[in-house]
């Protein structure tokens, strides 16, 4: 059985990791490469680096950083943040990224997904989706959740899969930041209609939330940021706990 | 010198980085003489099988690989191209291994288990078992390696060449060996310390 994956997500601005972290023996706090190495040593199954730079200089720093990450880290990593063209996707591949994640640009022009998948393979493209429940339906949001993407979630995930995506990273905006857990029913429903892997993101406050979304929710992976960065959940402890519950986990 | 065959199929960074971390030198090349003279040859690759096979033919490398006498390691699509035929794009391959490459499918047992849909691509860490040969020296059965693929070499009746077996929906051959030819369906270059040990073992063959 393929193991359920635990994925820490690092936000990077102008070449530095934004969120703090409780690794007391890292000399250069905020260095995304050192943090990635440390997470990988703790047992992270993959890493996600999101570029949140707002400037052109910041983005070019990020490209250099991707080269550094690729030469220092021996587990797969995904990069995302503002990727909107096939040229940008090509630059990141050349720099050594294993996968890229595309969000708003895919909603705006869905053909980008098919183009990247056919040129570089499905394994290279992750579509990240921010969805918001409005009481009746799940709406796809873009631009960091600030704008409506004009798509309904189930309709969108079907199109994304049909266009050849390698996996889907889904964040519920209703749950993100609450630390009260994931929308387990939603993930279970999506998992029953999709064949591509689903990464659950947003809402983890405890190990049991992660266990729930991986078992009841049938998600293939769980991604989190602050609970790992602030040490609320330690990856090695989390994985041991999930393993002890009988979940397929790589220790 | 280690030759990594360049036939325009994807990212060679991670493989090159992994070899460098082991302190070895390598050259990324499509030059036939360089490849023939190399002490070790790696055939990497991602993407679609029939397209990748066509690229090998375009460079005249399809006639070279099977005749090499140095240890050769195919990774992912590289392994698949060393098999006889791939269902992906219905393409004939190099035929070094007689195994066919088939799309991953759930076995009847998997369907009955009620585990839900078989996820394709098979993406993530999975176990390699029934390990054979020095490629897996000091690697324990059940070790996790990183996989990303939708097709895989079948386990044939009276299978003779499988040196690792993995299960995703059904069992498939996750590594093959015949004489100096080796191939892994997983990516040792992305599989942490254990993956690096497998590359090191290959370099020491």
Domain ranges for chain A: 5-244
Q: Which CATH architecture has domain B2-89+101-203?
A: 3-Layer(aba) Sandwich (3.40)
- CA-wise closest residue to B165 among B187, B191, B180, B143: B143
Strand, coil or helix: what is A65?
Answer: helix
For residue B98 the two structure tokens come to 């007689």
- For an interface test with A, the pick among B6, B9, B11, B168 (most A C-beta atoms closer than 10 Å) comes out as B11
CA A68 – CA A64 distance, rounded (Å): 7
The backbone torsions φ and ψ at residue A180, rounded to the nearest 5 degrees and listed phi first, read -110, 10
Average model confidence (pLDDT) for chain B? 95
pLDDT of residue A23: 42
User: For residue range B8-64, what is the model confidence (pLDDT) as tens digits?
Assistant: 876 788 899 999 999 999 999 999 999 999 999 999 988 889 989 999 999 999 999
Domains in chain B: boundaries:
2-89+101-203
Report the pLDDT value the prediction gives residue A237, as an integer from 0 to 100.
Answer: 97
B196 contacts A2? CB cut-off 8 A: no
Token output for B65 = 């690989």
Could you tell me the two tokens for A212?
Answer: 């729930």
Percent of chain A whose predicted confidence (pLDDT) is above 70: 95
Residue for token pair 């991707």:
A66
Per-residue pLDDT of chain A (251 residues; tens, 9 = 90+): 899 999 999 988 888 877 544 444 443 447 899 889 999 999 999 999 999 877 777 778 899 999 999 999 999 999 999 899 999 999 999 899 999 999 999 999 999 999 999 888 899 999 999 999 999 999 999 988 889 999 999 999 999 999 999 999 999 999 998 889 999 999 999 999 999 999 999 899 999 999 999 999 999 999 998 888 888 899 999 999 999 999 999 99
Q: Nearest 5°: phi and psi at A140?
A: -80, 130
φ, ψ at A144 (rounded to 5°):
65, 25
Q: What is the pLDDT of residue A191?
A: 95
What's the gap in Å between the CA of B125 and the closest CA on chain A?
A: 6
Residues B91-101 pLDDT 10s: 999 999 999 99
Q: What phi and psi, each to the nearest 5 degrees, are found at residue B169?
A: 80, -45
Average pLDDT of chain A is: 91
Q: How far apart are CA A105 and CA A111, in angstroms?
A: 10
Would you call A11 a catalytic residue per the annotation?
A: yes
Query: What homologous superfamily is domain A5-244 in, according to CATH?
Result: Aldolase class I (3.20.20.70)
Is B168 close to A167, i.e. CB distance below 8 A?
no
């Amino acid at each position: 059985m393929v193991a359920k994956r635990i994925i820490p997500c690092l936000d990077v601005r102008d070449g530095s990791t934004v969120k703090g972290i409780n690794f007391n023996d890292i000399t250069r706090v905020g260095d995304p490469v050192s943090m990635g190495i440390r997470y990988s040593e703790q047992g992270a199954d993959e890493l996600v680096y999101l570029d949140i730079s707002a400037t052109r200089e910041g983005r070019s720093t990020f490209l250099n950083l991707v080269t550094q990450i690729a030469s220092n880290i021996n587990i797969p990593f995904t990069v995302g943040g503002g990727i909107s063209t096939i040229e940008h996707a090509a630059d990141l591949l050349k720099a050594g990224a294993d996968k890229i994640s595309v969000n708003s640009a895919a909603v705006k022009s869905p053909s980008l997904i098919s183009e990247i998948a056919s040129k570089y393979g499905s394994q290279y493209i992750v579509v990240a989706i921010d969805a918001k429940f409005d009481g009746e339906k799940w709406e796809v949001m873009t631009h960091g959740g600030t704008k409506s993407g004009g798509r309904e979630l189930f309709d969108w995930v079907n199109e994304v899969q049909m266009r050849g995506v390698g996996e889907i990273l889904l964040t519920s905006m209703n749950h993100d930041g609450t630390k009260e857990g994931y929308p387990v029913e939603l993930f279970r429903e999506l998992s029953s209609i999709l064949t591509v892997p689903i990464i659950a993101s947003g809402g983890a406050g405890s190990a049991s939330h992660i266990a729930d979304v991986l078992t009841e929710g049938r998600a293939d992976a769980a991604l989190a940021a602050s609970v790992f960065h602030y040490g609320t959940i330690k990856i090695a402890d989390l994985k041991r706990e999930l393993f002890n519950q009988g979940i397929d986990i790589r220790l | 010198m280690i030759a990594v065959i360049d036939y325009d199929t994807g990212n060679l960074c991670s493989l090159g980085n992994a070899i460098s971390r082991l302190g070895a030198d390598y050259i990324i090349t499509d030059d036939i003489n360089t490849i023939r003279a190399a002490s070790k040859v790696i055939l990497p690759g991602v993407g679609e099988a029939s397209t990748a096979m066509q690229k090998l033919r375009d460079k005249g490398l399809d006639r070279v690989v099977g005749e090499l006498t140095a240890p050769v390691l195919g990774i992912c699509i590289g392994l698949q191209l060393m098999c006889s035929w791939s269902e992906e794009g219905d393409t004939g391959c190099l035929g070094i291994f007689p195994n066919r490459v088939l799309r991953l499918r759930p076995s009847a047992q998997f369907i009955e288990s009620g585990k839900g849909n078989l996820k394709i691509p098979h993406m993530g860490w999975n176990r390699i078992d029934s390990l054979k040969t020095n490629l897996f020296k000091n690697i324990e059965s059940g070790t996790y390696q990183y996989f990303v693929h939708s097709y895989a070499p079948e386990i044939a009746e009276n299978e003779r060449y499988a040196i690792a077996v993995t299960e995703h929906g059904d069992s498939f051959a996750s590594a093959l060996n015949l004489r100096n030819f080796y191939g892994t369906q997983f990516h040792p270059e992305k599989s942490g310390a254990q993956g690096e040990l497998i590359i090191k073992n290959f370099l020491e063959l």
